Each structure stands twice: as C-alpha cells, then as structure tokens.
Amino acid sequence: MTTFGLIHGGFQTSWCWGKLRDELERRSHRVLTVDLPVSDTTADPDAYLDVVASAFGSAPDPVVVVGHSIAGWTAMRLPDRIPVEGIIYLCSCINLPPGEYEDEPLPVISADPADWTPDDVGLITMAPDAAREYFFHDLDPALADEAISHLVRQSVTGVAGPTSKPTIPAVPASYVKATDDRAVSDAWATWAATLLTGRDALLIGGSHFPLLSRPQELADLFEQIVARF
C-alpha cells in the first residue's frame, strides 16, 4: 500500500481527483487530498506549501506526492517539510526565474495569453470554452460540463515560482507528460522532466487532465512509478 498525497493545480479544487482517488483506493492505496487557497489573492506559493504540509504531515507513512500542473512547485518543496517517499510531477509547470536556464524552451504555457488575463484584483477566470480547449477536450461532454462547473478563479499570486535557481530535492521523482496536453508546452515539459527528475518524461495519452480522462491508466502508471522508487 502506498500513501498518495494529491495536490491539484490552478482553477481547481480537490474535486478533480475523485475518479483517480476512487481507482487508487480500490487498489488499497491510501489517498490524501487538499484544497489550495487558489482564489485568495493574498496566498502566495509559501501559503500553498503551508496548507499542503499541514494536510499531509500527519500521514503515518512517507507520502508519494503528486503535483498536477502549477502544483509542481509545491510538490517540489514538500520534502523540506514532511517525509516524502517520492514525487510525481503530473503535467506540471513551474514558473522558473527568467534567464536562469539558458536552454529553457519558452513559453511554459501553450494556451493563448488572452485566456489567462487577470482582472483588476489579480484573479483569472477560466471561461468554459477555454477550459474545454485547454483542459477537458478529451472528456465525455457530460463530465466536461461537470468539471467546468467546479472551476474556481485563480489568483496570479499563487502561480509564482522560485526567485532563484531551485534546489532539486534528493528524493526519487518522475515526470508524467500527456501527449495531447494543450495547457503546458510539450517542449517545456520534455525539458523540465530531465531537469526535475534526471530522466525522460513518462507518457500518457490525452489531455492535461488524465486524472479525469484516464484514471485507470494513470493509476497503473503511478503503481509502476512507485515500484521503481
């Protein structure tokens, strides 16, 4: 049995993990989730880390932490706070310091910047059509509608990354890249996998949300990853 700590990405709540959580629990794994304060304009990445460390810190065993999308930065720093068995970067993106890596392929996000524009208070609203295009294009329409209904506004404060070149944690790590991810740039994800894990990305088909579109396949892949940890 593995204890998985699942951290959702931007515009999300822990609702998005439901199908994968059910699949992992069916296989007798323990699953922990958390709701990040993504709509709080005062909550920075340090606040996200505090919330996750509090939620997962009482686990009886070291956690395999899964950081989806912008939660990659939170997942990367969690080993400094609680016992972590390993990290799975799932379609992750981290806003690294500009110019720190000369070979970094930019942009990180492949979506149209017009769909990510914050309002006057620093909140981004993901329109339903944009969510279908970038997040949920391979979901059954009814499930896509449900996923869209659970979207929340995302504060730009929370998507900031490190201010200097980060230290890669000394725990086993794997990066899972979706082959039809329309949110995170394929070139960036390929590059980041090597930076963050020291190896090539593992592939899964479909969109930025394999946790919704392919929960059984993703659970299989997670078990394979953990077996190598």
Query: Per-residue confidence of the chain (229 residues) as pLDDT tens digits?
Result: 999 999 999 999 999 999 999 999 999 999 999 999 999 999 999 999 999 999 999 999 999 999 999 999 999 999 999 999 999 999 999 999 999 999 999 999 998 989 989 999 999 999 999 999 999 999 999 999 999 999 999 999 999 999 999 999 999 999 999 999 999 999 999 999 999 999 999 999 999 999 999 999 999 999 999 999 9
- CATH number of residue 143's parent domain: 3.40.50.1820
User: Contact 151/38 with Cβ under 8 angstroms?
Assistant: no
Amino acid at 78: L
**What distance lies between CA 95 and its chain's CA centroid?**
13
The pLDDT value given to residue 81: 97
> pTM of the predicted model, to two decimals?
0.97
Tokens 């990659």 sit on residue: 72
∠ CA 82-211-46, nearest 5°, is 35
The pLDDT value given to residue 182: 97
User: Contact 7/71 with Cβ under 8 angstroms?
Assistant: yes
Across-strand partners of 90?
68, 176
- Cβ neighbours of residue 63 under 8 Å, at least 6 residues apart? 3, 4, 5, 32, 56, 78, 82, 83, 84, 85
User: Contact 11/38 with Cβ under 8 angstroms?
Assistant: yes
Q: How many domains does the chain have?
A: 1
Which residues span the domain enclosing 167? 3-228
- Cβ neighbours of residue 161 under 8 Å, at least 6 residues apart? 45, 73, 94, 95, 96, 97
Tokens 């806003």 sit on residue: 95
User: Contact 45/160 with Cβ under 8 angstroms?
Assistant: yes
